[in-house]
Structure 1
Amino acid sequence: YYDAFLEHVENLRAKGHKVVACGDYNTAHHAIDLARPKPNQKTSGFLPVERAWLDKLEAHGYLDTFRLFNKLPENYTYWDMKSFARDRNMGWRIDYFYVSPDLAPSILAAGILPDVLGSDHCPTTLTLAV
């Protein structure tokens, strides 16, 4: 799937389209993107092969918009409900807005809204100039 996705967005870019690819990627890219990286090194969502694909996406120029504005740890978008992980902020950042590099000048803000309840995920935001 990942390679087909990358091929698709690269085809869009080749046709002159700007790309915003957002959603639940189900992968914490870096150790900073989850509360407990060491015990989760062999857990789906933090496997080397999954993380390598996000490296590949970024190598093609796509930007993790949240990290352009916030380099701090403990910013998560998903928490396990059964263990009440949100109450302790023991989460994972697995929801992203990735954009093609041609959109970089248009990025005004990107964020996470951890206080918005209703799901085991919280909303993420991206503000672009139009």
Structure 2
Amino acid sequence: MKLVSWNVNGLRACVNKGFNDYFAETGADVFCVQETKLQEGQISLDHGEAYGAYWNYAVKKGYSGTAVFTRIKPLSVRYGIEEDHEPEGRILTLEFDAFYLVTVYTPNAKRDLSRLDYRLEWEDRFRGYLQELDAVKPVIVCGDLNVAHQEIDIKNAKSNRGNSGFTDEERDKMTRLLGAGFIDTFRHLYPDRTDVFSWWSNMPGVRDRNVGWRIDYFLASARLAPWLVDARIDCHVMGSDHCPVSVEFADLTAPPPAQV
């Protein structure tokens, strides 16, 4: 089973930059998108009858938003954590037979950290929500988590410490989330791999020089680790200031594959 996640930074713009070609190339069972930046009826995508589409739009036009395209029909779909209090379209939860899938666009603390307090409170609620789901069945979480967790996940750790996305507080929240029973699938498989990032500033030459941050993730309940096959970061894929990330699992409805 292959799952893909991509912060497209505006789906309509990304479609004009190769989104559909990449979508077809992946052959994903589930494809998650963050920062769609559109409202219902503003785009028409034809991925065939094989895929069902689920959208969580932000109330504010041209802002935030998430979507999931899936070959596997979900048992249920949930929009946000508390629908009446989350107008930014940041979370979609799909329930499948063997697991929950949560795609998320985590709030940015802003350059001046004016939204840091909100971000930290949001992190606590989100972690609690994932733990509630995990008590029922395993969880796979993907999306733009807006934090480079470790120094290995950012090109210039020393000069960026304390900046939005690399504050001690945000990194601690990520540590607490992983400590609540989840794994970072990429680091689980590749703990020492360096210079692999998923976001780059739009400043000239930054992406060419690979001065990036790894802020897009696939996390999973730790008990799913025996089924984990691979995790990838497709740094070569353009179309957004983020690149897609993906993960592959063996059949989660079957016993774990034998370990070699």
Q: Same fold (TM over 0.5)?
A: yes
Q: What residue ranges of structure 1 are gaps of 5+ in the alignment?
A: none
| Corresponding residue of 1:78 | 199
Cα offset, 1:126, TM superposition: 0.2
Q: Deviations over 1:54-87 (max 9, x none)?
A: 1101111210000122221101000011233110
TM-score (norm 1): 0.96
- The answer to which of 75-84 and 106-115 deviates more is 75-84
Task: Quote the residue 2:169 is aligned against.
Answer: 49
Is 1:122 equivalent to 2:243 in the alignment?
yes
Aligned counterpart, 2:141: 21
Q: Percent identity?
A: 40
- The one-letter code of the counterpart of 1:80 is S
Secondary structure of 1:2 counterpart: helix
Mapped to 2, the partners of 1:79 and 1:85 lie a distance apart of 7
Structure ranking higher in helix proportion: 1
What's the TM-score, normalizing by structure 2?
0.49
In structure 2, distance between residues paired with 1:124 and 1:72: 15
**Aligned mates of 2:181, 2:135 — CA distance in 1:** 13
Take 1:64 and 1:23, find their aligned partners in 2: how far apart are those partners? 12
Q: Which deviates further from its counterpart, 89-98 or 62-71?
A: 62-71
Gaps of 5+ in 2: 1-121, 252-260
Distance 2:124 2:198 in 1: 24
The answer to which structure has the higher strand fraction is 2
The higher-RCO structure (CA 8 Å, 6+ apart) is 1
